[in-house]
Amino acid sequence: MLELTTPVQYVKGIGPKLAEILATKGIATVGDLLNYLPFRYEDRLNPRGIAELHAGEMATVIGEVRNSGLFRTRKMPIFQLTVGQGRSKLRCLWFHGAYLQDKFKPGQLIALYGKVEQDQRSGELQIVQPQFEMLGDAAGDAADDKAAASLEVGRIVPIYESAGQGRVTARWFRRIIRTALDDLTPELAETIPAAVRDRLALLSPREALWKVHWPEAGESFEDLQSARTPAHIRLIFEELFFTELGLELKRRQQKAQTGIAFRLDDRVRQAIKKILPFHPTAAQKRVLKEIADDMQKPHPMRRLLQGDVGSGKTIIGFQAAIIAIENGYQVALMAPTEILAQQHYFSARRILENAGYRIVLLTGSLEADRKREIRRHIAQGNAQLVIGTHALLEEKVEFAKPGLVIVDEQHRFGVLQRLKLMKKSGDGSEGRGQAAASAGSAASTADKNPAEPDVLVMTATPIPRTLALTLYGDLDLSVLDELPPGRTPIVTRRITDARSPEVWDFVRKHAVAGHQAYVVYPIIAEGEETELKAAIKMYRELSGKVFADLKVGLLHGRLDSELKDQVMRRFQKGELQILVATTVIEVGVDVPNATVMVIEHAERFGLAQLHQLRGRIGRGAAKSYCILMTGGKVTEEGERRLDAMVRTNDGFQIAELDLELRGPGEFFGTRQAGMPSFRVANLIRDRQLLELAKREAAAVMAGPNAEVTQVEISRALVALRTRWQHTYGLVEVG
Ligand code: ADP
Ligand code: MG
């Protein structure tokens, strides 16, 4: 009998070679295999009669091979196959189909799936490049044939993605999954508490697994294709439920730790107010209060502040910093790029230094001596606000009294890096509950300051709330949903680069009127991709010819950091009117006088990136313009990105579309960042189930009570651990 945790090699018919191929698909256990769901289904119970097909529909046709052959046109070889049902015939074509020669024998039964089209010349119906599957005796092992054949026709048939360059076919999966189901232990434990299962009318795990692979004849075909059958819902909910349960557990563990209870008395309040260069928006006030409330609690804060570009997150970070500093603690503020760290350093000095706070900048590019000196300041507690880049994480920085860590523009950090960061400034005490706290590093400073510092993470990636709560599930969420007053919406236009003279005229007009402009290129130097205009070359052209009478600067990632710094500062001061740049300016850069953003080869940029870039303008009261120039062919997806940019300034809408276009893995960079990837759930399609799962998981963890027993909770936690261990590779969660 197979258990879900049994290694997949123990399924009959899977040897070491096949197990290796399956491993590439992330299939290691029987449970993994059974959760390898069909990506679509074919209705071979009621396959379509050829005579009743009509153009434009997707159809499954089962027929008999009549004849086939390759014929050559001037352009390419085309393989043609005719299948028949009684007197009706249907033609199928494959372009460049030479590889299909000798594959089909007359009389053979075959299932085809594809879009029915009408041939322009003959007017006959045909299917071009259908997916197909031989039925019946093709596999060769005669004894199994009958049983196997009954898996392929006369029913709704699951279609799986093949693996191992197609060697492990849909058909193979169908048989092997069937075998695994047949041999699966009848006592598959229910790990979801009964109250939850009843409330949502969930199928038992065993029934769900059977039905998702082998739907009953009466199952709604539409529900199957959209993964909305009861069987799908059970499996998807289960996956989401355990994810949320794990996150809930982590949150609870964090909350239970000792943190710093900062005091927020009138003196501190005054200090916070005093630095404000403007009236905070209502949203800023609300968010600051949420943060301040957290900081006063004796448990470590773990809060995500989400606010679209330009919503004014920086000042909130500074205010939180003051609370910590006024309580005698040190603050670390981390930025993803040096430019941004620099900028924070300058605004911190502008805003905070008058109040007497001691601020240092620590970046990777400083000279070793200088770094050592700064580190000493930090270790001795002289530096109160430490601003830096990843260098703060990577190098040995010891804080005398760390109180608060602020991470700006978190989307640039992987989730894992965030963990590392908390460890470091958390003076060694691990506090994440999932990895063993390293006793060695904890010993050094732990006795001086045993409390975990607070952490505030700021991001401009506008993620829908539930998604945020899952992806950053161990963080509490604050949302800055209001822009500072006086902003006029940015006007965004698309233009082909054939019209660049007009664009340059436009830029000039604004520069002459006293404003500034960015011109952004996707690459730095020529030769990287020959047809693209590179920043350096265009800088020469723009500074030397087009804008010879204006002051033009160049900024890209390969400049040494002193020069970068210098250029950025001159632009900030208004000494440069036009800044030619790469995406180094993408995040955070704040020059309110800049009102024009020209992006060349805009089709090359991702949607989130375009939105971030555009976020560099529209930061002051003057009307701002974003000009998306395209050169060359734009893909369909590119079109959708550009359309979205022209249509809306709303970060949430942009994020939704981006999520849709790229899929959650890419969108969040979760693959590198070690977020669990989902096997059956899809965070976008299943958003409602996610919400449900989150609610139910929280309720379960709040037990035991009238609904959930202690035994059920324990059982769920054990299941959680097993699941996370082998799926996500986490060592310990409970
Ligand atoms: P982001 O959220 O993108 O980090 P910033 O904190 O850089 O945004 O703020 C964007 C700009 O808006 C800055 O120039 C900042 O000084 C200004 N700003 C922030 N809050 C306010 C406010 N309440 N009133 C006026 N200007 C503000
Ligand atoms: Mg910012």
Helix (H, G, I), strand (E, B) or coil at 725: helix
Cα–Cα dist 382/401, whole Å: 10
Arithmetic mean of pLDDT, 41-50? 84
Q: Looking at the CA of residue 315, tell me the nearest atom of ligand 1.
A: 6
Written as six digits, the tokens of 87 are 């007197």
Mean pLDDT for the stretch of residues 698-711: 85
Between 144-153, 440-449, 480-489, 626-635, the lowest mean confidence (pLDDT) is in 440-449
User: Among 84-88, 217-221, 423-427, which stretch is predicted with the lowest mean pLDDT?
Assistant: 423-427
pLDDT for the residue numbered 466: 61
Residue ranges covered by each domain of the chain? 47-153, 266-480, 491-666
Strands of 433-508, DSSP E: 454-459, 476-480, 491-496
Instruction: Tell me the range of 166-170, 287-291, 497-501 where mean pLDDT is highest.
Output: 287-291
Does residue 673 surpass a pLDDT of 70?
Answer: no
More confident residue, 94 or 449: 94
In this predicted model, what pLDDT tens digit does every residue of 164-212 receive, in sequence order? 777 888 889 999 999 999 999 988 888 899 999 999 999 999 999 999 9
Q: Is 575 helix (H, G, I), strand (E, B) or coil?
A: coil
DSSP secondary structure letter of residue 553: E
* pLDDT-derived band at 102, boundaries 50, 70, 90: confident
Phi, psi of 63 (to 5 degrees): -155, -175
The tokens describing 141, both together, are: 């092992």
User: Kind and range of the H or E element at 369?
Assistant: helix 368-380
The answer to whether 111 touches 152, Cβ cutoff 8 Å, is yes
Is there a common fold for 47-153 and 491-666?
no
pLDDT exceeds 60 at position 637: yes
From the CB of 587, is ligand 1 less than 6 Å away?
A: no
What tens digit of pLDDT does each residue of 108-137 get?
889 888 899 998 888 889 999 888 888 865
pLDDT on residue 382: 93
Q: Give me the pLDDT at residue 465, please.
A: 63
Atom number in ligand 1 closest to CA 316: 6
Given a cut of 70, is residue 547 above it in pLDDT?
yes
Nearest ligand, measured from the Cα of 277: 1
Gap between the Cα atoms of 313 and 619, Å rounded: 13
**Whether the CB of 71 sits within 6 Å of ligand 1:** no
Q: Which of 406, 479, 488, 590 to mutate to test the pocket of ligand 1 (most atoms within 8 A of CB)?
A: 590
Q: Is the CB of 481 under 6 A from ligand 1?
A: no
Is domain 47-153 given the CATH code 2.40.50.140 in the classification?
yes
Ligand 1 centroid to residue 97 C-alpha, Å: 60
Q: Which helix H or strand E contains 211, and what residues bound it?
A: helix 205-213
Superfamily of domain 491-666: P-loop containing nucleotide triphosphate hydrolases (3.40.50.300)
Q: How many CB atoms lie within 10 A of CB 16?
A: 7
Q: Is the CB of 590 under 6 A from ligand 1?
A: yes
pLDDT at 144: 53
Residues above pLDDT 90, as percent of the chain: 39
Q: Can you tell me the distance from the alpha carbon of 368 to that of 366, in angstroms, rounded to the nearest whole number?
A: 6
**Gap from CA of 485 to ligand 1 centroid (Å):** 10
618 in contact with ligand 1, CB cutoff 6 A:
no
- The C-alpha atoms of residue 245 and residue 313 are separated, in whole angstroms, by 31
* Highest mean pLDDT out of 191-205, 435-449, 653-667: 191-205
- State the pLDDT at residue 715: 84
Q: Looking at residue 435, what is its pLDDT?
A: 32
- Distance between CA 712 and CA 189 in Å, rounded? 11
Across the range 387-397, mean pLDDT stands at 72
What confidence score (pLDDT) does residue 415 get?
42
**Are 717 and 734 contacting, i.e. CB atoms less than 8 angstroms apart?**
yes
pLDDT of residue 731: 34
Considering the domain delimited by 266-480, tell me its CATH architecture: 3-Layer(aba) Sandwich (3.40)
pLDDT value at position 708?
85
Query: Do 427 and 444 meet the contact criterion of CB atoms below 8 Å apart?
Result: yes
Ligand 1, residues 278, 412, 487, 516: which to mutate, most atoms within 8 A of Cβ? 278
Q: Would you state the pLDDT for residue 671?
A: 42
703 has pLDDT over 60: yes
